[in-house]
Amino acid sequence: MTTNFEKWMDYNYPLENCIITKESIQKALNKFYLDKILNLDKDQSILIFFKVRIKNGPFRNISNLQKVNKLEFFNLIDIFIEYWNIKSSEYNEYPLIEIVFTYYILSTKLDLEIKNSTRELKKQKNKDKNKSLKLETGLLDTINFGGYSLPSTMDITEWGHCDFYNNYTEAIVYKKQSKGIYYIKLHNNYLEVDLKIENISILYFKDTLLDINCLGTFKREIKEQTYEFLNGKLKTKSKKYKTQYIKPLLGDIYLNDKFLTMDLETRIRKGKMEVYHVSIFDGISISTFYLSDYKNSEELLKYSILSIMIRKYNGYKVYLHNFSEFDSVFLLRVITSLSNNVNIIMKDNKLINLQLKFGDNKYNIVFRDSFLLLPSSLKKLALSFNVEEKLIFPYAFVNDEKINLDYKGKVPEFKYFENIKIKEYKEYCNNFKDKDWNLREETAKYCNQDVKTLYLVIKKFSQQIFDLFRISVINSPTLSSLSFTIYRTIFIKDFKIPIITGELYNFIKKGYTGGAVDVYKSFGKFIYRYDVNSLYPFIMKNFPMPINDPIFIEGDISDFNLKDLAFIEVEVEAPENLNIPFLQTKIKSKKGGYVTISPLGSWTGIYTCNEIQKSIALGYKFKYLRALKFEQGYIFDEFVSYFYNLKKNSLKNSSEYTIAKFILNSLSGRFALEPELDKHVIVDDKKVLELVKYYTINSLINLGNGKNLVSYKIINESIDTNKNPNVSVAVSANITANARVWMNQFKQKNLFYSDTDSIDTNVLLDPKYVGNELGQLKLEHFFSEAVYLAPKVYGGITPKYEIVKIKGLKNPIPYKELLPLLYKNKTLELNQEKWLKDIEKGHISIHNEIYTLMVTENKRKLIYDKDNKFIETKPLKIKNENIIE
């Protein structure tokens, strides 16, 4: 029996207790097999994703797309269990109600097409791999070139029969048992050699003597590769890689200010958010849309989008503040139903850019998130850029199910307003002494002011950037891309910053980690919190960065010059007596995934020369394996100086201060973008099957309108590289490494807590390190006492205020509630509101969840006293990636 549904289907397997185990995955697959697969032909294939559904929430992809036939079906058990092991930690805090298999049963013809396409692509990929750099394999296996073994000495009389000419300045050597002939020019300390056959040049190389007493100790240069011999034995092999460089840009002739601003207002109905008002501003007029005038929220959104799908707005950017995290959830389904040509750019599951084409694809508008360009609240931005401020509004009032959208009457009570004082509320009420408060009018007034405020902020920001740098802001979707554009337009000069991709990228990325965030002592009194003034910009200005073409070196590099700028792979042995180890590495977390720690023990890692120098001073021992070496240059000196001085000489929170702060802190990470990004497309079911032939499908989200959001990776680079051409992870990795070196000098015995750019200690720092200049530390807080439960979980009290920081908790708690948690197994359960975004259904659902606060152990070992009170931590000890104590 042959079956072909010719569409994607979902198979739902309910979970009994909201928990997924190996057994539940196996049971779900067994039932799916009996219900859907059993009656298929034995060689018929299916495409299948493993997903889960969150209670009152959306599907979440667990696996990539898998293709199996009926006979191979039960291989999926081990595959899906392994995927769950990797991803399960992401869903610990969510109640899961279903395992979901999204599947497509292939016809025999289509199955054969996919097999043939995949087979050819894999062949091509293997060919490409064979041509590419193999950093994983040894480079010292042979010095054989073009089938010709070369001699390992500069004594040319051992190369074959030798005839000298021109007073011993030239020689011809007839290669032993070969038709090859060496034509040699002899100099004082080097040879130039041309190997020919039948008078055709086969290979040219140069040998330079390194020891006048030994002709077997020399350097051989062949094209981009260099070999060093010691007493006739190959010691090291190095290869210079020709890279492309990040190119300078030209400024814009004219300011591009073609943009609109848009804002959505939502209300909550039956635990789900829905849009009830939209405002759009083009700089002159405002268009408003209210739910009372439409059948439902989706129709409201449809007509608001249609209103700007006109030739007048061709090429315009449409900004919404928090589009990528909020508004896009409601808009994506609607936008994709209005056009068959929607192009998107995503990163980390966030929509960065959404282009909507219309009018037979002649015209387009682009939706963007202004928060990614100006990462601050609209209220703060209005103050910084001195434009009309946001109004106040009773957000929660409209969530009352008894309230009609056409409500007219008394001003809503104070409890419905957020973040205002009673004085502000009373002043607001005075505006309605002689008239009713009208929900429709006040919503429009509030939302209209928001789009005007956002428009004026972007307008002023754009003009200031253009006046300074001749750059149009709206050509950059994010702040980091704008910062990068400014750097390339004004500050890059003649520096040759190498574009790092492929295996070179993978090599450096293994050693790329961030700042050290750790708890060392759990409780203290009289604690000083010091923060570094602009840590990363300080490092960028004062430390040289990698430039020009890198050289990869392998072999005996024990005498490597640590004053060079290089990333070195080493075997590490940490000293046993360190309480605060310096070097970081990644290990597998108990909850799945990887965690960065600073351990004792032994492992293999990749570090910069500065990190290794610092570590040697602390007692670390190393065995050097291989290195990637760069030339050095101070490529950020002018950039950092310009923006730091602009910030320093501007009034705090002015537009100039805000611009300088934003740009200064947004450049360093931009260089570390992945060169090969996932690609994301909006396609119908038929097109999905075409993509399966050529790409590795990572996820598929059915938008419920005949369209799917598909994420995929490239199988064959020759088809579609989708690469970011301007990345250099070597720069970002060098910045973070030197930042850790710089911060380590402040990590003394009296350390309680550290973050990337801050320390908590009970001793005053040397005054020479303290001040307001770039790279100096400033005293941010003085705690009369403080508690540290885990990285990013701490609190402290001062004579005037208290601070509590808890990662993942929306609402703050009093400091005193942290103190009982110092005792073993003590927990604090807190209710908090959780938003679950469902792109498939175009809404956000809200439910309450329990946040359990407690001492956690995942980066250092917890130490308790005799009363079971948490007092301090000790470093973990590892062997390779495994914790041994």
Q: What share of the chain is helix, strand, coil (3-state, %, to 5)?
A: 30, 35, 35
Residue whose entry in the numeric block shows the structure tokens 């710089």: 742
| Pairing relationship of beta strands 437-438 and 408-409 according to DSSP bridges | antiparallel
- Counting other chains too, the contacts that 17-25 makes at CB distance below 8 Å and 24 or more residues apart are 18/55, 18/95, 18/96, 18/97, 19/96, 20/52, 20/84, 20/88, 20/91, 20/96, 20/99, 22/81, 22/84, 24/99, 25/50, 25/77, 25/80, 25/81, 25/84, 25/99
**pLDDT tens digits, residue range 526-565?**
999 999 999 999 999 999 999 999 999 998 888 888 888 8
DSSP for 380-430? HHHHHTT-PPP----GGGGG-TT--TT-EESPPPGGG--S--HHHHHHHHG
* Cα–Cα distance, 597 to 583 (Å, whole number): 8
Q: Is the pLDDT of residue 775 over 90?
A: yes
Q: What is the mean pLDDT of residues 183-189?
A: 95
| Tokens matching residue 82 | 């392994």
For 259-480, the fitting CATH number among 3.30.420.10, 3.10.20.30, 3.40.50.300, 3.30.565.10 is 3.30.420.10
pLDDT of the residue at 121 = 54
pLDDT of the residue at 2 = 44
pLDDT of the residue at 114 = 66
| Pairing relationship of beta strands 148-149 and 160-165 according to DSSP bridges | unpaired
* Cα–Cα distance, 756 to 530 (Å, whole number): 11
Q: What is the mean pLDDT of residues 386-411?
A: 91
Nearest to 487 by CA among 630, 347, 666: 666
* Cα–Cα distance, 823 to 813 (Å, whole number): 18
- Counting other chains too, the contacts that 374-379 makes at CB distance below 8 Å and 24 or more residues apart are 374/457, 374/458, 374/461, 374/479, 374/662, 375/479, 375/662, 376/658, 378/321, 378/450, 378/453, 378/454, 378/457
**DSSP reduced 3-state for 640:** helix
Least confident of 233-247, 364-378, 455-469, 675-689: 675-689
Q: Is the pLDDT of residue 16 over 90?
A: no
Residue spans of alpha helices (H) in 227-327: 297-306
pLDDT tier, 154 (very low <50, low <70, confident <90, very high otherwise): very high
pLDDT of the residue at 147 = 47
Instruction: Tell me the three-class secondary structure of 111-144, residue by residue.
Output: HHHHHHHHHHHHHHHHHHHHHCCCCCCCCCCCCE
The residues facing 38 across adjacent strands are none
pLDDT of the residue at 884 = 84
Q: Is the pLDDT of residue 131 over 60?
A: no
Nearest to 544 by CA among 627, 636, 611: 636
225: left (phi over 0), alpha (psi -120 to 50) or beta: beta
Q: Is the pLDDT of residue 722 over 50?
A: no
Q: What is the mean pLDDT of residues 187-198?
A: 92
* Cα–Cα distance, 42 to 186 (Å, whole number): 72
pLDDT of the residue at 111 = 67
Q: Is the pTM of this model over 0.75?
A: yes
Q: Is the pLDDT of residue 42 over 70?
A: yes
- Counting other chains too, the contacts that 62-69 makes at CB distance below 8 Å and 24 or more residues apart are 62/87, 64/696, 64/697, 64/698, 64/699, 65/692, 65/696, 65/697, 65/698, 65/700, 67/114, 67/692, 69/42, 69/43, 69/44, 69/45, 69/111
Task: Report yes or no: 806 and 818 within 8 Å, Cβ to Cβ.
Answer: no
| Tokens matching residue 676 | 């090969």
pLDDT of the residue at 497 = 96
Query: What percent of the chain clears pLDDT 90, i.e. is strictly above it?
Result: 65
Q: Where are the beta strands (DSSP E) in 653-791?
A: 679-683, 695-702, 708-714, 751-755, 758-761, 777-790
| Tokens matching residue 150 | 């070369």
Q: What is the mean pLDDT of residues 377-388?
A: 93
* Cα–Cα distance, 458 to 169 (Å, whole number): 72
Task: Report yes or no: 447 and 263 within 8 Å, Cβ to Cβ.
Answer: yes
38: left (phi over 0), alpha (psi -120 to 50) or beta: alpha
H or E element: which one contains 742? helix 729-744
pLDDT of the residue at 721 = 44
Residue whose entry in the numeric block shows the structure tokens 């807080």: 781
pLDDT of the residue at 143 = 52
The residues facing 318 across adjacent strands are 260, 367
Query: What percent of the chain clears pLDDT 70, i.e. is strictly above it?
Result: 93
pLDDT of the residue at 674 = 86
pLDDT of the residue at 591 = 64
* Cα–Cα distance, 695 to 430 (Å, whole number): 63
Task: Report yes or no: 767 and 710 within 8 Å, Cβ to Cβ.
Answer: no
* Residue 34 per-residue DSSP state: I
| Tokens matching residue 440 | 């429709």
| Tokens matching residue 785 | 């006492």
CATH architecture of the domain with range 9-129: 2-Layer Sandwich (3.30)
* Residue 314 per-residue DSSP state: T
Q: What is the mean pLDDT of residues 464-471?
A: 96
pLDDT of the residue at 30 = 93
Q: What is the mean pLDDT of residues 135-149?
A: 46
pLDDT tier, 569 (very low <50, low <70, confident <90, very high otherwise): very high
Task: Report yes or no: 840 and 703 within 8 Å, Cβ to Cβ.
Answer: yes
pLDDT of the residue at 92 = 65
Top mean-pLDDT range of 99-113, 334-348, 525-539? 525-539
| Tokens matching residue 690 | 């075409």
Residue count of the chain: 885
**pLDDT tens digits, residue range 261-307?**
999 999 999 889 999 999 999 999 999 999 999 999 999 999 999 99
* Residue 615 per-residue DSSP state: H
Q: Tell me what the pLDDT averaged over the chain comes to.
A: 89
Structural domain spans, the chain: 9-129, 144-240, 259-480, 518-637+728-883
pLDDT of the residue at 715 = 54
| Tokens matching residue 382 | 């209005």
Q: Is the pLDDT of residue 164 over 80?
A: yes
pLDDT of the residue at 54 = 81
